[in-house]
Amino acid sequence: MKKTIKDWSVEDKPREKLLLKGINTLSDAELIAILIGSGNKELTAVDLAREILLDNNSNLNNLGKLSIEGLLKYKGIGQAKAVSIIAALELGKRRAKSEIIELKKINSPQNVFNYMYPLIGDLKHEEFWAIFLNQANKIIYSSKIGQGGINSTTVDIRILMKNAIEKHAIGMILCHNHPSGNIQPSEVDIKLTNKILDAGKILNINIIDHLIISGNQFFSFKDEGLIL
C-alpha cells in the first residue's frame, strides 16, 4: 500500500517542514508538492513533483517552459494544479527581473549595515549571511548561510562557495550578528573568516568585508585591517 504524506513524520511533511525548519530546507520537489497539495493513487505529492522535475532534467527553467497542456499529461495534475505551478514559476521569473533592475551598489561598510540591519540587527539568535556581488560591486543576491543560538552559528563553507559560484559572483561580503551587544569578533569569527578568505582565493572570489552587527552598531573586518 502506498505510504501517503499523512503517514510521514511531521518534520518530513513539506508544509510542516517549512514551518519548523524554514523554506530554505525544502527541495524543489517539496516546494512543488506544496503547490499541488496531493498526488495520485500511486504517488505522493512529493513523488509526483519529483517525476515532473526528472522529466524536465531537474531544471526549473525547463519546467517553467511547460504549457498547461504539458502539465496535464501527468496523472494527478488537473487544470487548477497546472495553473498554480505555472503561476508560481512566472512569479519567480518576475522577481528575478525585479532584482536585476533594483541592484544596489555597495560602496562602504555603512551601505552593508543599512542593507543588513533590517534582517539581523535585532535578532535574539545569531545568523550568518552572505551578500554576493557582481564586478561592479552591485548586489546579485543575499542569503542566510547559517543560523545558531545566542553565542554562535555554524557555517558550511562548501555551501557558501557553491552559492557564490551558482550566482556567478565576483565578490562576497560576509555578515553576522551578535545578540550579546558586543561587536568585537571572537577568535572563532576570525578563524572562520580566514578559512573563507582562503577558499575565496582558490575560487577567485574576492571576500571584500565581514561585518558584525549588533543593534545599531557594526564592526568591519576591512576597516579594522583584518581583511586586506
Residue 118 — very low, low, confident or very high, per pLDDT cuts 50/70/90? confident
**Chain position carrying cell 543560538:** 149
In a domain, 36, yes or no: yes
Same domain, 188 and 212: yes
Domain count of the chain?
A: 2
Flag whether pLDDT at 11 surpasses 60. no
Q: What is the pLDDT of residue 187?
A: 94
User: Of 75, 101, 127, which residue sits at a domain end?
Assistant: 101
| Domain CATH for 148 | 3.40.140.10
Rounded mean pLDDT, 185-212 = 96
**What average pLDDT does the segment 8-22 reach?**
77
CA dist 48 and 74 (Å) reads 8
- Please say if the pLDDT value at position 134 is more than 60: yes
Find the mean pLDDT for residues 103-124.
86
Q: Which residue, of 101, 124, 141, is where some domain finishes?
A: 101
Q: Do 120 and 63 share a domain, yes or no?
A: no
Stretch 62-81: mean pLDDT: 92
* Dist CA 81 CA 85 (whole Å): 6
Share of the chain above pLDDT 70, in %: 89
pLDDT tens digits along 137-188: 999 889 999 988 665 678 999 999 999 999 999 999 999 999 999 999 999 9
Q: Are residues 114 and 216 in the same domain?
A: yes
Say how many Å lie between the first and final Cα of the chain, rounded.
61
> Which percentage of the chain shows pLDDT scores above 90?
60
Co-location of 96 and 155 in the same domain? no
Contact 165, 125 (CB under 8 A): no
Given 84, 101, 118, the domain boundary residue is 101
Task: Give yes or no: residues 152 and 63 share one domain.
Answer: no
Are residues 48 and 128 both part of a single domain? no
Whether the per-residue pLDDT at 100 is higher than 60: the answer is: no
Q: Which stretches within the chain are classed as H helix?
A: 14-21, 28-36, 45-55, 60-64, 68-72, 79-101, 109-120, 157-166, 187-203
Look at the alpha carbons of 162, 166, 172, 176 in this order and tell me if their dihedral is positive or negative.
Answer: negative
Average pLDDT in the chain: 88
- Whether residue 227 is contained in a domain is answered as no
What's the pTM?
A: 0.57
The verdict on residue 225 lying in a domain is no
Which residue range(s) make up the domain with 205? 109-220
Residue 41 covered by a domain = yes
Q: For residue 50, is pLDDT > 80?
A: yes
Residues 64, 131, single domain; the answer is no
Determine the average pLDDT of the residues in 124-140: 93
CA distances from 31 to 1, 40, 196 (A): 25, 17, 31
